[in-house]
Amino acid sequence: MPIDGSNDDLIKPRGSRRTCVVLGGRGYLGRSLVTRLLQLGDWIVRVVDSNHSLQLATDSNDGDSVLRDAVASGLASYCQVDVRDLSQIIKAVEGSSVVFYTEASDLPEHDFYACYMIIVQGAKNVINACRECKVRQLIYNSSADVIFDGSHDICNGDESLPCHWKFADMISDLKAQAEALVLYANNIGGLLTCALRPSNVFGPGDTQLVPFLVKLARSGWAKFIIGSGDNMSDFTYAENVTHAHICAAKALDSQMISVAGKAFFITNLEPVKFWEFVSFILEGLGYQRPSIKIPAWIVCYVLLVVKWMHEKLGSKKYNHDVSARFIHLASCTRTFNCSAAQKYIGYSPVVSLEDGITLTIESFSHLAKDSPFGRFSNFGEQSKAEKLLGSGKAADILLWRDEKKTFTCFVALVLLFYWFLLSGKTFASSTANLLLLVTTILYGYANLAPKISSFNTPKIPLSWFEISENSVRDSIMSVVYLWNRGLRILRLLAQGEDWNKFFQICLLEYMHLCNTFDIRENGLSLGCAFSLFGQVGSGGILGCGNSLTFLELNAALVFPFTAFFVYEQYESEIDGLTTTLFSLSKGLFMSYLPASMTSFIQNNRVLWKENGNVVNDEKLRKELYTDKMCPLKYKKQVERKCSDMIMNRFAFGYNSDGSDLD
């Protein structure tokens, strides 16, 4: 129920304070609208939202302090409603003359019914409540998305553009229906309505655009420009949207014929390249500006594959619509003509685009790259890939946190790789050549004149060549550790204690030898296992052997620089896929076991004895499936356990269903 409960509109003369309702008044746009209305001083504001109470911030939040003062002086009140319940809305809007309606934007997009009930049914309820309570004006916060089909450019589009009823996403479709209902309700039962269509709203506290861009930047995807990067877009600073609402309320009185029953585009009147805007925001927050162009159709296909994977894995966390919407916005031109709003509702932006961007960047400083959370990919949470790499310098390099550093390391590794492996020399002569080269360069540098024409040649300080005692001790310790470990493995192999490892090493050595011969002997093939094409003919043999080896070595070089990066981007997808593949291979393996064994494993009620204790097969499952065993070992253990079970069954008189044998 409204706290103030006044019917002042009906009693107070025109020109004094009027009562208005801001439905969705604790939301992003709603808060800004409430603050602006209270600052104007012409209104008694009833904040209506789904929260139990106002929940005012305790710190010095500007908007909340204005509202706190207004509540204390009786100029503002709060009322809790659910827009799906007509009776609640009737109580909330009773006695007001204007209703500003902004509905939720954080809707459960996978649930059509819930979205429909909030957007469309909610709009019907608000209209009916306004009629019932004789509210004079209803101003609906729509969106420019209602005329966008997700694929065609809109250049300087105005209100004459027809609604095509083809939408890129469900929310825009439902919002278009709600907007149509609001406009259709105009002038029925004395209610005047209009709708505002802001385009790409942003500003301090933005819950959609800026957080999405930051997330993109932290995951590394903001490096890419989708499409040509030349597409133009209109953006609207949030305060300008709320200003437009207040202008519309005034205009519904003064310019009734031109405004009532109409929709108006609202923008900052400063169209910019979409990627220019994104770059301003990202650079302002310390992130790299997007620079690599990728055709939009490739991104769309990748997104479809990701969607398909999520569907297969039954993942509910992934929101395809949000990513798809961003791709459409990011690759199409969407500019709107705002002259109708300027002419009929007297709108003009109160905050310029440049100031709006500056204020927004300031307000999101906690999400900036240098903030304590800047290194992490998921708002304070360390990624698995980063944990796996030890969160140190190696992680920073392999996860491309600093492109320059990573690129330098990669180039250095490539050079070493070619120097040592593909030069055709032995390791010792490659090392000797490298040392000779370094010594020659250093000698040459030391003998350079201190100044060559206008360039100074700084001397390299001697400290560069010093190695600290600790580093020497650490590296010796590492060498000693590796040496001891190698010796232990050798001892195991020599004593024949680990035949698996013995054969693995033999196989590896054999393949290595074959490939070395392939490279060195220039045409000689040993028909190695590695070179699958080795048997085809001596002409092709060398090529295949060489190129395969070359490819493998290259892959080994590129792998760490790509695999961890890709894993970080698609952590949940890759984990999910691995789990699915693991369970599939587990199922496949079980299907190859004899039926008697699988029935023992699958039957929950099977009992057997182990070390004299009766155990059910749950324990067996846990032991077998959670152990990190190699497939061969795994199979052997299953067989052994199953045969034990069969033995036990007869020895202890249990049936496979756990009942006693007769």
Ligand X SMILES: NC(=O)c1ccc[n+]([C@@H]2O[C@H](COP(=O)([O-])OP(=O)(O)OC[C@H]3O[C@@H](n4cnc5c(N)ncnc54)[C@H](O)[C@@H]3O)[C@@H](O)[C@H]2O)c1
Binding site for ligand X (CB under 6 A): 24, 26-30, 49-51, 81-84, 102-106, 118, 141, 143, 198, 201, 207-209
The three-point CA angle 204-206-211 to 5° equals 110
Element (H, E) at 617: helix 617-626
Nearest to ligand X of 351, 542 (CB atom): 351
Cβ neighbours for 333, distance < 8 A, ≥ 6 positions apart: 153, 154, 155, 231, 232, 233
Compute the least distance from the CB of residue 228 to ligand X, in Å: 25
Nearest to ligand X of 201, 389 (CB atom): 201
Please state, in angstroms and rounded to a whole number, the distance separating the CA atoms of residues 225 and 290: 6
Please state, in angstroms and rounded to a whole number, the distance separating the CA atoms of residues 467 and 490: 33
Compute the least distance from the CB of residue 33 to ligand X, in Å: 9
Compute the least distance from the CB of residue 42 to ligand X, in Å: 22
Compute the least distance from the CB of residue 398 to ligand X, in Å: 36
User: How far is CA 41 from each of CA 19, 35, 57, 76, rounded to the nearest angstrom?
Assistant: 11, 10, 22, 11
Give the residue closest to ligand X by C-beta.
27
Nearest to ligand X of 121, 377 (CB atom): 121
Beta bridge partners of 233: 272, 334
Nearest to ligand X of 83, 246 (CB atom): 83
DSSP class of 366: G
Nearest to ligand X of 34, 514 (CB atom): 34
Is the distance from CB of 317 to CB of 135 less than 8 angstroms?
A: no
Please state, in angstroms and rounded to a whole number, the distance separating the CA atoms of residues 9 and 133: 12
> Does residue 262 sit in helix, strand or coil?
strand
Catalytic-labelled residue, pool 175, 316, 404, 622: 175
Beta bridge partners of 19: 44
Tokens of 255: 């310019």
User: How far is CA 503 from each of CA 331, 408, 590, 631, 632, rounded to the nearest angstrom?
Assistant: 55, 39, 26, 15, 13
Nearest to ligand X of 17, 84 (CB atom): 84
Nearest to ligand X of 199, 231 (CB atom): 199
Q: Is 175 a catalytic residue?
A: yes
Please state, in angstroms and rounded to a whole number, the distance separating the CA atoms of residues 261 and 467: 79
Between β-strands 232-233 and 201-202, what pairing exists: parallel, antiparallel or unpaired?
A: unpaired
Compute the least distance from the CB of residue 153 to ligand X, in Å: 19
The three-point CA angle 631-634-637 to 5° equals 155
Compute the least distance from the CB of residue 571 to ligand X, in Å: 28
Nearest to ligand X of 321, 623 (CB atom): 321
Compute the least distance from the CB of residue 100 to ligand X, in Å: 11
Please state, in angstroms and rounded to a whole number, the distance separating the CA atoms of residues 491 and 260: 91
Residues in the chain, total:
662
User: Where do we find the tokens 């007869």?
Assistant: 650
Compute the least distance from the CB of residue 171 to ligand X, in Å: 7
DSSP class of 120: I
Please state, in angstroms and rounded to a whole number, the distance separating the CA atoms of residues 87 and 607: 61
Q: Which residues are catalytic?
A: 175
